[in-house]
Amino acid sequence: MKNISKIVLLTLLVLSQSSYSQQEETPKLIVGVVIDQMRAEYLYRFQDNYTENGFKRLIKEGFNVKNTHYNYIPTATGPGHTSIYTGTTPANHGIMGNSWYSRALKREVYCAEDSTVYLVDNNGIDKGVTYKNYSRSPKNVMATTITDELKLFTNGRSKVIGLSIKDRASIFPAGHMADAAYWYNSNNGNFITSSYYKNDLPKWLKEFNNQKRADSLLNLVWKPLLPINKYKNSGEDNASFEKIHKGRKNSTLPYKLNELRKANGDFAFLAEVPYGNTLLTQLALTTLKGEHLGKGDDVDFLAISYSSTDYIGHNYGVRSKEIEDTYVRMDREIATLLNGLDKELGKGNYTLFLTSDHACSDHPPFLNAMRLPGKFYNPKSIGEDLNSHLSKIYGEANYVLNIDKLQVYLADTTIDKEALVKETQKFLKTVEGVKETFAPEFTVLNLNNSVIGAIIRNSYHSKESGDVIFHFQPGWMLDRNYGASHGHCYTSDTHVPLLWYGMNIPKGESVKPYTITQIAPTLSMLLNIPFPNSSNTRPIEILFK
């Protein structure tokens, strides 16, 4: 009996140590996937046409955080990617939008601009004419990212790479310390970087660019992947609020890309069709092999952001045949990516999360046709009317420096600033559609008793924000002729998917509310590394139970 007891105790000890070892095991690679402008409902509305190996695989074999939202405005690509990877909001990381007005520079600045660096293409550094459009780096991000913290924790041994069609969507996830961020050059179809990272492209990327894949994809015909009668969860093709490309008289599938490309930006046109996503998947799998990601002693990080979904959503809208076909194809891209990761690293040896940088809202004419509320607003017109109003009260002058979508920047004058702000708020409240106004700098005009006070606090940056922030009723959209848009605080724009999959991820789902800023601390806890320095400290607890 004593011998049996010893054997049982020894077995339990071994099992316990094995269990502990498994819990402490870390993946070879973290893969962050962001699908630009993806509404959470797209996981379900189009699911009848999905395969078992893409979105459904992630849902069935991973964990679905079904009630994930953004918690600031504007909901846009630059701040979205930055918030995912820093674990905080514009109030701390400083990326106020894709662009914003700078008082210091007296002009609008682009979120990823950096005049001290240059484009790096297949021929090395380009300091010529084209570099001005590609002077990019993460220098405007004022907080560390989860990828920065991984680099610091492993003393630089972990490799971190960011990939996207859009520069900001590859740069901000990769962070300040990345080995590289690569994005699409719409002038020639190559993937490029900037001298912030390196002075020459790696051999494998030059070879990839020399294959002229973008050129080949732009000679295809974009037609429905499945019989059109299977696309039953989108509206009629050629709706009145869809974009009509140059060279076309309607917006009906199919699109012969080789006939349209020259008149619609040539290589830039690839971003506006699903094959832009195809090219990015090809790049991701090539990067995986070219950089030997997941093959070292330390965990690596590959950040992938699919951008064509955003362009297509903006062009055709939430209910279009084009957007349904795009997500049917996107499902196949995810399947291809997962199969490639399985082949290269082995199933279960990597951890992946999938989310979006923002969702999107329906075009007001569509809403009106469905007897739902919705209208357009024009910031330029509001700014002109506001300046006229203030001039009548205080004398003719240029009081409004800029209206950046939902923020008013007022000029410095001899007039009492608080009085000027109050009068600005008073005027804005008379503008049709405006729901609330905020002046965070003044306590008497603060966010108390506001419906979205917490969201504004998360959005307000003391150095970069405007003097007055305002927002509209649901259904209102920045004036545009076609498609979908985003930027507001309502669930149409804030509710995004969040799927976790792979090593150390349980199977299941949760309907508990979570914010996008909980992704970074969750990764910190999974990897046992520090939080980004301004991060939310609350991980998604249910993943650890």
The verdict on 80 and 128 lying in the same domain is: yes
In the chain, the number of structural domains is 2
The reported pLDDT for the residue numbered 441 is 80
Establish if 15 belongs to a structural domain.
no
Its domain, for residue 113, covers 24-363+488-544
Structural element, H or E, at residue 61: helix 55-61
The reported pLDDT for the residue numbered 22 is 41
The verdict on 325 and 220 lying in the same domain is: yes
Q: Whose CA is closest to 137, among 79, 76, 181, 78?
A: 181
> Pairing between strand 124-126 and 468-472?
unpaired
Q: Whose CA is closest to 260, among 313, 211, 320, 315?
A: 315
């492993």: which residue's tokens? Answer: 154
**DSSP letter assigned to residue 139:** T
Helices (H), 376-512: 379-394, 417-428, 453-459, 491-494
Phi, psi of 532, rounded to the nearest 5 degrees: -55, 150
The reported pLDDT for the residue numbered 462 is 87
- What's the whole-number mean pLDDT along residues 206-225? 98
Annotated catalytic, 77? yes
The verdict on 28 and 92 lying in the same domain is: yes
In this structure, what CATH number is given to the domain that contains residue 76? 3.40.720.10
Q: Write down which residue in 473, 507, 534 finishes a domain.
A: 473
The verdict on 106 and 58 lying in the same domain is: yes
- For residue 140, give both structure tokens: 């405007």
Give the 3-state secondary structure percentages of the chain, helix then strand then coil, rounded to 5.
Answer: 40, 15, 45
Helices (H), 72-202: 77-86, 90-93, 146-153, 167-174
443-479 tens-digit pLDDT: 554 556 566 788 988 999 988 999 999 999 999 999 9
The reported pLDDT for the residue numbered 509 is 98
In DSSP terms, 119 is beta-bridged to 126, 194
309-346 tens-digit pLDDT: 999 999 999 999 999 999 999 999 999 999 999 999 99
Catalytic residue among 75, 77, 494, 515: 77
The Cα-based distances of 95 to 111, 143, 252, 459, 518 in angstroms read 6, 10, 37, 9, 18
